[in-house]
Structure formats: structure tokens, C-alpha cells
């Protein structure tokens, strides 16, 4: 039973346009959400996070939106760059405990 | 600043062989984790150690054992490797409750 779902295995976007990666969750006890980025042959690296008391967090080109009523979060990358091409994992934490990861979305930014 | 270091980076085993994957972190984190990554399944937690001296099972612990040797080191052991354990293994560390995890670069393990 996947508690964190990333339903799009891949996404292709033109350089300069917006990339939107989506994530849905089922556990209402999740209170903190994170996005990780992973390049081939490297470990995941932390990108951005959001607490359940917020609905938006922004860091440069990256913005995460949280819709608690829909149990949905999204990562927006504007503008997208070729170096953003990677696998993006959504993750969730409940009460400071373990992280639960989604299956990941492969983003390809075409130049 | 090395962060999280995993050894080895690659390994090929035969079914039934044993193997220990090593992980060390230099960030003085209390919590350490072992994950496996398989295609289409994201990262699944095998075992974790919330603090030195404690270990707990994660989502997929069968066939694995762990040792939290000290605050820096957390090893993962396969006692009798099986082809189903072919995967990429990641070690991570953090300080709870809401700090992000820092990951090593992984160990790619193939079991024939």
C-alpha cells in the first residue's frame, strides 16, 4: 500500500518553460513533506520542503505547493533548465519519524 | 566535507554468499538509515537506527541485518544473498525530527 504516490513516471519539458511534478499521499498524519533530486550514479539530494502548516514554500526557481484537503503537493520549477533533468522523489514524514518516499518522476528538460 | 560515505560502490555476489555494506557519516547525526532502490518502487526503508545503540526494522527488513557500530557507522549485512536482493542500496543520516536526510552515493549490488 503506497502512502506516497507519484503517478507520472516521466515528464518532458522544453527549456525555459515550467515543470510541474505532482505527488499524492494517503496518510493524513503526514505533517512534513520534502522533494529530493537524484542524478544517475549519485545519491538523492534534498531540494525543498514544506510543513503542513503552510501551503507554499519558495526557494529560487523551485516552489512547492501543498493542498492538504486534496492530500496533494506539487513542485514547480520555473524556468526549467537542462541541468534540472533528473529523477525527483517526493517524501513525507509523520511526527518526525521515518521518511516515506514516492516512486519518483524522471524529468527531462530539452534544450 | 565527505558527508555520507558508502563502500563498496559496486559488488557482484553469487547466490548464498554473504556481504557487509559499510556506511559512515561525519555530520554527527544521531539517526542513520538503509534503503534499497528498485525500478518503479522508489526508496524503501530496510532498517534504521534512531540513535547509537538502537536499531529498528523498516518496510523491507527480511534477509538483512544491521549493526550501529558507533555514532558514525551503520553497516548492512546480507547473510545469504538472493537474486531478489539485487538493487542499489543507499545509506542516509539526519537529525530528527524534521531535518532532511543526507544520502551517500549508493552501492550497486548484483546477485547472480
pLDDT of residue B2: 76
Contact B3, B94 (CB under 8 A): no
Closest partner CB to A96 (pick from B96, B103, B106): B96
Find all residues with CB under 8 Å of A52, minimum gap 6, and list them.
Answer: A30, A31, A32, A33, A66, A68
Q: Could you tell me how many residues make up chain A?
A: 111
Residues B47, B65: Cα–Cα separation, whole Å:
8
Contact B11, B59 (CB under 8 A): no
Tell whether omega for the bond before A8 is within 30 degrees of 0, i.e. cis: no
pLDDT in tens, chain A (111 residues): 789 999 999 999 999 999 999 999 999 999 999 999 999 999 999 999 999 999 999 999 999 999 999 999 999 999 999 999 999 999 999 876 788 999 999 999 999
Q: Using the structure block, give the residue that is written with the C-alpha cell 518553460.
A: A17
Closest CA to A88 of A41, A50, A34, A52: A34
Closest CA to B24 of B54, B49, B56, B58: B49
Q: How far is B2 from chain A (nearest CA, A)?
A: 13
Q: Which residues of A touch B (CB under 8 A)?
A: 4, 6, 9, 32, 34, 36, 41-46, 49, 51, 89, 93, 95-104
pLDDT at B107 over 90: yes
Residues B97, B112: Cα–Cα separation, whole Å:
39
Amino acid at each position: 500500500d503506497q502512502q506516497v504516490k507519484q503517478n507520472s513516471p516521466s515528464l518532458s519539458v522544453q527549456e525555459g518553460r515550467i515543470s510541474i511534478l505532482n505527488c499524492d499521499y494517503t496518510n493524513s498524519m503526514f505533517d512534513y513533506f520534502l522533494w529530493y533530486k537524484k542524478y544517475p550514479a549519485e545519491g538523492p539530494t534534498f531540494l525543498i520542503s514544506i510543513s503542513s502548516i503552510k501551503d507554499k514554500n519558495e526557494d529560487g526557481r523551485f516552489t512547492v505547493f501543498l493542498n492538504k484537503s486534496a492530500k496533494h503537493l506539487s513542485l514547480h520549477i520555473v524556468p526549467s533548465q537542462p541541468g534540472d533533468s533528473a529523477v525527483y522523489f517526493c517524501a513525507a514524514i509523520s511526527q518526525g519519524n521515518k521518511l516515506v518516499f514516492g516512486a519518483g518522476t524522471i524529468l527531462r528538460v530539452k534544450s | 566535507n565527505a558527508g555520507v560515505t558508502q563502500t563498496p560502490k559496486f559488488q557482484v555476489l553469487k547466490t548464498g554468499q554473504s556481504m557487509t555494506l559499510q556506511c559512515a557519516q561525519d555530520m554527527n547525526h544521531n539517526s542513520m538509515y538503509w534503503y534499497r532502490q528498485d525500478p518503479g518502487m522508489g526508496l524503501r526503508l530496510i532498517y534504521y537506527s534512531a540513535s547509537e545503540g538502537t536499531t529498528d526494522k523498516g518496510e523491507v527488513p527480511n534477509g538483512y541485518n544491521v549493526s550501529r557500530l558507533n555514532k558514525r557507522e551503520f553497516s548492512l549485512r546480507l547473510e545469504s544473498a538472493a537474486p531478489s536482493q539485487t538493487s542499489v542500496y543507499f545509506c542516509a543520516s539526519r537529525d530528527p525530527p524534521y531535518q532532511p536526510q543526507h544520502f551517500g552515493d549508493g552501492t550497486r549490488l548484483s546477485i547472480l
